[in-house]
């Protein structure tokens, strides 16, 4: 699956919807939980963001 390849990739930028508005987050993939359908990103300040896979618009 292409999402599992993100773990090996370096920094990624994710556009996602949260509360009806488009947000952008840049960082390294911290965790991919397919059971809970979440993607966790850690940014350069070591903050961890939990994103629902259903809300993701683009990953590059």
- The whole-number average pLDDT for the span 27-52 is 93
Residue 25 pLDDT: 94
Arithmetic mean of pLDDT, 33-47: 94
The predicted structure's pLDDT at residue 1 = 54
Residue 5's H or E segment, with its range, is: helix 2-6
pLDDT of residue 3: 66
CATH T-level assignment (fold) for domain 2-59 = SH3 type barrels. (2.30.30)
Quote the tokens at residue 56: 């993701």
Is pTM beyond 0.75? Reply is: yes
Parse the chain into domains and list their residue ranges.
2-59
Two tokens at 53? 């896979």
User: Which of 47, 44, 52 lies closest to 12, judged by CA?
Assistant: 44
In tens, the pLDDT along 16-29 reads 999 999 999 999 99
> DSSP character for 4?
H
pLDDT of the residue at 55: 94
Q: Please give the structure tokens belonging to residue 15.
A: 């556009």
CA triple 56-4-7, angle to 5 deg: 90
């Amino acid at each position: 699956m292409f999402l599992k390849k993100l773990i090996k990739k370096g920094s990624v930028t994710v556009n996602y919807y949260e509360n009806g508005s488009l947000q952008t987050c840049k960082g390294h993939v911290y965790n991919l939980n397919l059971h809970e359908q979440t993607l966790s990103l850690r940014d350069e300040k070591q903050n961890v963001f939990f994103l629902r896979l259903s809300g993701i618009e683009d990953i590059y």
